[in-house]
Structure 1
């Protein structure tokens, strides 16, 4: 793959997440009954960063969690060297019944990951509301899903790949577009 452009660097990611944190607080008129749940893999550190920013702003520790959606995907294909999908642990620290759950992911593309995440979340309880926060929305939806909070809209073609690297998982913060 050929690198085409860097759309967010470390500082831009930090600013986007600060803005999203303020938007979450504003839209929900505070943080009461909020739960932040990151979709594995890169949604988890993004959710943690949002949680820390919101705590900094509101001086309240809001509950969070991690959601593995592997078994809920409708586009799952086995890897060549792996017969079974790798299942990671789901860990939601609180009861989500009647809460406003903010699902957090790195890139919103077709909407299939978010659909799977909503199915997985419902298996853990019945939230009053589910909202979606993403670092990047690249378009090309296959399902009627939209993000409530977006760090950056990045119009792309189907021939492009958007990669998010984060210091927690990849030792650097960056969002890049590659040509397939």
Structure 2
């Protein structure tokens, strides 16, 4: 059973708020960059870039990070994952890197993303922006910017649909 939790307008408002929070915390867009975690985080990072650029009138670099090889469960699954290219065409050294993801759950993906980032340099700071925080952390990781906190049970799922790959924007709760 699926229940829609956020529609297109609500997602757009959340992203606008997160963009302003990023600018407020970092005192503007100077020295920041966005890195989206494949797949949903990439599209959200691009949208945040546009909102930040429209407000600050400056270009904010955006990178793409595939964390597949950094996951701690890579050998536990029989499923073959498709690897997407990582593309961070700028230096992250001494930058404030804002990692962007669609859903924060156990924290393991975020940990993998931080490990992967360290292969690209030494950022001044790493911040985390997520559209949805559903709880159930297994690692001591917390988002700096959270769109919406949606408490779930472990047997429920959150699915984020974005127009870039699904043709619509929506967040749904799936219950068995």
Aligned twin of 1:58: 56
Residue 147 of structure 2 is aligned to residue 155 of structure 1 = no
Residue 142 of structure 2 is aligned to residue 146 of structure 1 = yes
Count of aligned pairs between the two proteins? 175
After TM superposition, what 4+ stretches of structure 1 lie above 6 angstroms from structure 2? Answer: none
Residue 67 of structure 2 is aligned to residue 69 of structure 1 = yes
Aligned twin of 1:176: 172
Aligned twin of 1:119: 115
Cα distance in 2 between the residues matched to 1:57 and 1:31: 9
SS in 2 for 1:91: coil
Cα distance in 1 between the residues matched to 2:163 and 2:107: 25
Residue 25 of structure 2 is aligned to residue 30 of structure 1 = no
SS in 1 for 2:147: strand
SS in 2 for 1:162: strand
Cα distance in 2 between the residues matched to 1:142 and 1:78: 19
Shift of 1:93: 2.3
Alignment RMSD, CA only?
1.0
Shift of 1:130: 0.1
SS in 2 for 1:11: helix
Aligned twin of 1:6: 4
Shift of 1:122: 0.5
Shift of 1:107: 0.1
TM-score (norm 2): 0.97
Cα distance in 2 between the residues matched to 1:31 and 1:12: 24
Q: 1:21 aligns with which of 19, 22, 30?
A: 19
Cα distance in 2 between the residues matched to 1:66 and 1:153: 25
Aligned twin of 1:106: 102
